Amino acid sequence: MSHSSPPVRRVADWDFDQLSSLAAEHGTPLYVVDLDRVAENYERFASAFPDAHVMYAAKAHTGRAVLETLLDAGADIECAARGELQRAIQAGADPDTLQYTAVNPPDADLDYAAELGADHPGLTVTGGARDTFDRLEARGYDGRVAIRVNPGIGTGHHEKVATGKDAKFGIPYDEVPELAADLRERFDLVGLHAHAGSGVLHDDLEDHCRAIAKVAELAREVGDSDLAFVDFGGGFGVPYREDEEPLDMEVVGEKVREAVGDLDAQIKLEPGRYVVADGEVILTEVNTVKETPEATVVGVDASLATLIRPAMFDSYHPIGNVSAPERAVEPVAVGGPCCTSADVFCTDRPVARPEREDLLAIGNAGAYGYELANQFHSQPRPAEVAIEGGETRVVRRRETMDDVTRVERESGDRAGDAAAGDR
């Protein structure tokens, strides 16, 4: 496969006839993921960093089909929770290649990691608090560990993802050398890890590289020749807005290498969003068009339960009219059926005028889209269909009301099986 594929895929680049057919066959709202595009994005990224160890940050999209695709493409997997470790292994990942970045890990997560490490000594556990290492030791774990560093520099598309300056993430920069000396007595200290933020584009690249340079200097201070790797995380963004330009990954690769400088340890990178974001869209049907003095309000069957990023991060997602892209464009507000004013995908957005029963596509839904899907208003989560090699298949069936209520009924609730209309 060539890595010369376009560096960004806009909504208009999708095959609208194919999307219409998928919506007709599988219903809406519907996630559609192009696995070929996911593999292309990974290859483009890896080609920009030929000397780095590139791992996929699973938290962006843990769908089994996505994980299998990336494992087949040669990626290793970085996990931020016990469930992600389990899903990576179920998708075929070798546990000895996994990296677990523990953030305030619950006991059950650490129990699982310690047990996994006992059987698979290649597992690496990254800790961002002294407590995490003490709790690992108490579980008898003495294997591979890395220190998550807080570089004091945050970047990204929203303050809620600028992890590099958030005290929640990592050991304070100045405390790392002392901690490193301590951990070398108790574990196999193999690396340093840092993550400045998420959604980094051109305007954030300078700060991102400053954080990288700072962590690289710290690695040299603690002895990079004694470390297997220095992990600079991911965070590389994709253009969500139509007027944003994609990153030139060859230029990014040069800037990152310049920021790192001479380093004996191997560089690790963990792209997540960059790999999956533009590989997926959400299809949703228009059910209501309401003219008001303030706006033309377009109601659709997707909601913040389908895609919460606009409500959570004020995120922009491009929207296209699949049914009638040739219609005259006019500003509209698009929102879902949830009883909250947060359930809005856009306001005053130019879209080919939607009419009832039109099919709309919400773009760049691959990163943290299905991952954050929920059952608010007792809405079953949507199906997900994969496109690969010209073929399509369901990789997640649509939930039913039976799925939504099963855990209550199986708990011995006195309602028993009396739930009506659960299918």
Q: What is the largest CA-CA distance in the chain?
A: 70
Q: At what angle do helices 35-48 and 64-72 cross, to 10 degrees?
A: 40
Nearest Cα to Cα of residue 53 among 365, 209, 266, 340: 266
Selecting among 79, 338, 339, 346, the annotated active-site residue is 339
Classify residue 29 as left (phi > 0), alpha (psi -120 to 50) or beta. Answer: beta
Q: Is residue 31 marked as binding?
A: no
Q: Residue 299 corresponds to which tokens in the numbers above? A: 């109601």
> Is there a contact between 394 and 414 (Cβ–Cβ < 8 Å)?
no
CA distance 254 to 23: 42
Burial tier of 46 (Cβ tally within 10 Å: 0-12, 13-18, 19+):
buried
Task: Quote the CA–CA distance of 305 and 176 in Å, as a whole number.
Answer: 40
**Rounded-to-integer distance, Cα 86 and Cα 112, Å:** 9
Q: Annotated binding residue at 272?
A: yes
Give CB contacts under 8 A, 24+ apart, made by 201-207: 201/157, 201/237, 201/239, 201/244, 201/245, 201/247, 202/245, 202/247, 204/155, 204/156, 204/157, 204/237, 205/247, 205/252, 205/255, 207/153, 207/154, 207/155
Does 235 belong to an annotated binding site? Answer: yes
- CB-based contacts of 188, cutoff 8 Å, min separation 6: 142, 143, 144, 145
Is 270 known as a binding-site position?
Answer: yes
245: tokens are: 């330009």
Give 160-166 contacts, CB < 8 A, sequence gap 24+: 160/312, 160/313, 161/197, 161/198, 161/199, 161/313, 162/196, 162/197, 163/195, 163/196, 163/197, 163/198, 164/194, 164/195, 164/196, 164/197, 164/211
346 catalytic, yes or no? no
Consult the annotation and say whether 368 binds a ligand: yes
| Contact status, residue 198 vs residue 163, Cβ threshold 8 Å | yes
Q: Which residues make up each annotated binding site?
A: 235, 270-273, 309, 368
Task: Point out the residues that are catalytic.
Answer: 339
Q: Which residues make up each annotated binding site for substrate?
A: 273, 309, 368
Q: Which residues make up each annotated binding site for pyridoxal 5'-phosphate?
A: 235, 270-273, 368
